[in-house]
Amino acid sequence: MHNQFLASFEAQVFSTTTEQSAPSNIALIKYWGKFAGQIPANPSLSYTLSLCKTLTQMAFDSTQPFSVKLYLSGELNLGFSQKIETYFKSIEMYLPWILMGSYEIQTHNTFPHSSGIASSASGFGALAQCLMDLDKNFGSKLSPEEALKKASFLARLGSGSACRSLYPGLVEWGRSEELEGSSDLYATPYPSSDVHEVFRDFHDWVLLIHEGEKSVSSSVGHSLMHEHPYGETRFAQAKANFASLKSILKSGDLQAFIALVEHEALSLHALMMMSSPPYLLMQSGTLETINRLWAYRKETGHPLFFTLDAGANVHLLFPQGPSSEAIMQFIESDLMAFTQNGGLVKDRMVF
Ligand code: DP6
């Protein structure tokens, strides 16, 4: 229980509707492994995307008993409704009015489902924003900054990485001596004054290698880190990588950034391969893309590189700059062959 977020309520509300959105995010330093209560085993750092978002409309009716009906892209989804009902019950101590009515939630993503773009991050981000907006009707006295911090806290309890989706730009989550104000309980915006301009206008083009459900969920992946032979080493490595990244972000050393970000992505997948039982989320298209991309970078020197989420799809990263046109052409002409259905989602982060 976290006292700073406990609450009581004063006002009574009957029925009200709110509409909120949150973007997805892509981690550069990965959160992989957690302790009870969604406490991360290491600090993580992500870019919040701009165009890949979840839009959520929530209608609350306090004349009805507690129930949740969630419609995903217009269709009632019983599995998600049940999941959100359980989530609401789990956060009652932080929003004491939450079980006092019925919810009809309409939600949709601006990007394809199961595209490897984390819809749980944007989904819980938008949901937490809706809840904090409803909270105002119950007499909440939180300032906008405090309400955002609490939204990040609540989103984290739904899905860890979701807490980072509440802020734009580069966002950190997890207690670290490297970042003042950082916490295991909510995300902290990474100060843009400490980020060189080369990192402040970046493309993320997601190559959809595989569009089905993943064979192993992130929750299972996190839990396999407990008995993992390299668990402790990984947590120490992520902490050290965060310290290195801090100085890279400041100095603008793009080559060091590329090396570190790719190393993080490959470490994540290496951990999966060394879990017990082992598993693989990369597909042949993932490997072919990486090899082709490396060859292109060697030939041209253009700063195209990649990161991976817990899935087969490849996030192609490159800064806006003199080579971005050439890089875009290369992706469209040479990398689309590795996708399952020609899927490519283009996003860009400017801050
Ligand atoms: C590989 O946040 O999806 O994307 O907390 O169990 O919901 P839960 O896991 P989740 O894990 C994300 C893992 C990752 C890395 C990252 O986003 O930092």
Q: Which of 224, 225, 255 is nearest to 238 (CA)?
A: 225
Q: What is the pLDDT of residues 260-316, one digit of tens each?
A: 999 999 999 999 999 999 999 999 999 999 999 999 999 999 999 999 999 999 999
Q: What is the pLDDT of residues 33-65, one digit of tens each?
A: 999 999 999 999 999 999 999 999 999 999 999
Who's near 45: CB < 8 A, 6+ residues apart? 27, 28, 29, 170, 171, 172, 173, 190, 242, 245
Regarding whether 148 and 239 lie in a shared domain, the answer is no
The separation between CA 182 and the C-alpha centre of its own chain, rounded to angstroms, equals 17
In 31-47, which positions are buried (b, 16+ CB within 10 angstroms) versus exposed (e)?
bbbbeeebebbbbbbbb
Q: Which of 28, 112, 51 is nearest to 349 (CA)?
A: 51
Residue 11: band (very low, low, confident or very high) from pLDDT cuts 50, 70, 90:
low
Q: What is the pLDDT of residues 93-144, one digit of tens each?
A: 999 999 999 999 999 999 877 666 778 999 999 999 999 999 998 888 899 9
pTM given for the model: 0.96
Cβ pair 127, 60 in contact under 8 A: no
Average pLDDT estimate for 322-345: 96
Q: What is the pLDDT of residues 224-240, one digit of tens each?
A: 999 999 999 999 999 99
**Which protein residue has the closest C-alpha to ligand 1 atom 6?**
219
List the structure tokens of 244.
């290195």
Give 45 Cα–ligand 1 centroid separation in angstroms. 12
Regarding whether 185 and 274 lie in a shared domain, the answer is no
- CA-to-CA distance for 124 and 45, rounded, in angstroms? 18
Reply yes or no on whether the pLDDT at 243 is more than 70. yes
Regarding whether 184 and 256 lie in a shared domain, the answer is no
Tell me how many domains the chain contains: 2
- CA-to-CA distance for 167 and 125, rounded, in angstroms? 10
In 3-state terms, the chain is what percent helix, strand and coil (to 5)? 40, 25, 35
Cβ pair 168, 149 in contact under 8 A: no
Cβ pair 189, 164 in contact under 8 A: no
Top mutation candidate among 124, 213, 218, 281 for ligand 1, by most atoms within 8 Å of CB: 218
Average pLDDT, the chain: 95
How high is the pLDDT of residue 30? Answer: 98
In the chain, pLDDT over 70 holds for what percent of residues? Answer: 98
How high is the pLDDT of residue 8? Answer: 74
Q: What is the CATH number of the domain that holds 230?
A: 3.30.70.890
Reply yes or no on whether the pLDDT at 221 is more than 80. yes
Q: Which residues line ligand 1 (CB under 6 A)?
A: 27, 30-32, 38, 44, 118, 120, 159-161, 218-219, 222, 268, 309-310
Regarding whether 109 and 31 lie in a shared domain, the answer is yes
Residue 264 belongs to domain spanning: 201-350
Regarding whether 296 and 207 lie in a shared domain, the answer is yes
Q: Which of 21, 52, 112 is nearest to 348 (CA)?
A: 52
Residue 5: band (very low, low, confident or very high) from pLDDT cuts 50, 70, 90:
confident
Reply yes or no on whether the pLDDT at 213 is more than 80. no
More confident residue, 10 or 59: 59
- CA-to-CA distance for 307 and 27, rounded, in angstroms? 8
**Which protein residue has the closest C-alpha to ligand 1 atom 7?**
159
How high is the pLDDT of residue 1? Answer: 61
* Three-state secondary-structure class, residue 112: coil
Regarding whether 222 and 174 lie in a shared domain, the answer is no
Q: Which of 281, 176, 173, 274 is nearest to 231 (CA)?
A: 274
Give 161 Cα–ligand 1 centroid separation in angstroms. 5
Give 95 Cα–ligand 1 centroid separation in angstroms. 24
Please confirm whether the linkage preceding 277 is cis (ω < 30° from 0).
Answer: yes
Q: Which of 168, 192, 216 is a domain's end point?
A: 192
How high is the pLDDT of residue 66? Answer: 97
Neighbours of 153 (CB within 10 A): 23
On the 0-12 / 13-18 / 19+ scale of CB atoms within 10 A, 97 is buried
Give 299 Cα–ligand 1 centroid separation in angstroms. 34
Work out whether strand 67-72 and strand 39-40 pair parallel, antiparallel, or are unpaired: unpaired
Regarding whether 225 and 166 lie in a shared domain, the answer is no
Give 303 Cα–ligand 1 centroid separation in angstroms. 26
- CA-to-CA distance for 158 and 154, rounded, in angstroms? 7
Regarding whether 124 and 224 lie in a shared domain, the answer is no
More confident residue, 5 or 21: 21
Q: What is the pLDDT of residues 151-162, one digit of tens each?
A: 999 999 999 999
How high is the pLDDT of residue 140? Answer: 87
Average pLDDT estimate for 243-252: 98
How high is the pLDDT of residue 114? Answer: 62
